[in-house]
Amino acid sequence: MVDSRTCARHGGDPEVYSAISDMLARIGDKWSLLIVSTLGEGSLRFNELRRQIADISQKMLSSTLKVLERDGLVERTVIPSVPPQVEYALTDLGRELLRPVTALAEWTAANTPRIMAARAEYDSRAVAPAAG
């Protein structure tokens, strides 16, 4: 996922290359991007977050939030009440990540028609019988 030029810009250090690949894989997954985008609008309680992200299971939301919290992108705050409530918000680091995530979402929205057309063109060539 990370090319040799990226590694070279960081002194060719394989540890940096590995760290970059690891973080891109982690934050580049569907659920992490959706959680970061959703929390970009403000802090939410667990069930509010789950309602806003269609099709995410409780288990997947919980495990993804733990990974994002471990990486310092999301903070978890327990609100003292009966019963206790938990709220999630982006950290400063998470808000920094929101910038490229938003740019990627905007690029995707702007280019979806071109991507769909390219897929259709490719698929039509892939299923067409070979001329012989």
Q: What is the pLDDT of residue 4?
A: 57
* Position 101 in a domain: yes
* Position 26 in a domain: yes
Query: What predicted TM-score, i.e. pTM, was given to this entire model?
Result: 0.74
CB 88 within 8 A of CB 44: yes
Q: How far apart are CA 105 and CA 125, in angstroms?
A: 29
Rg (CA), the chain: 20
* Position 113 in a domain: yes
* Position 132 in a domain: no
Q: What is the CATH number of the domain that holds 63?
A: 1.10.10.10
Please state, for a pLDDT cut of 90, what percent of the chain lies above it: 57
CB 91 within 8 A of CB 77: no
Phi, psi (degrees; rounded to nearest 5) at 45: -80, 160
**Each residue's pLDDT tens digit, 103-114:** 988 998 899 999
Tally of structural domains, the chain: 1
CB 39 within 8 A of CB 25: no
* Position 46 in a domain: yes
Q: How far apart are CA 104 and CA 112, in angstroms?
A: 12
Under the banding of pLDDT at 50, 70 and 90, the label for residue 1 is: very low
Q: What is the pLDDT of residue 6?
A: 55
Question: Domain limits at 79?
Answer: 4-127
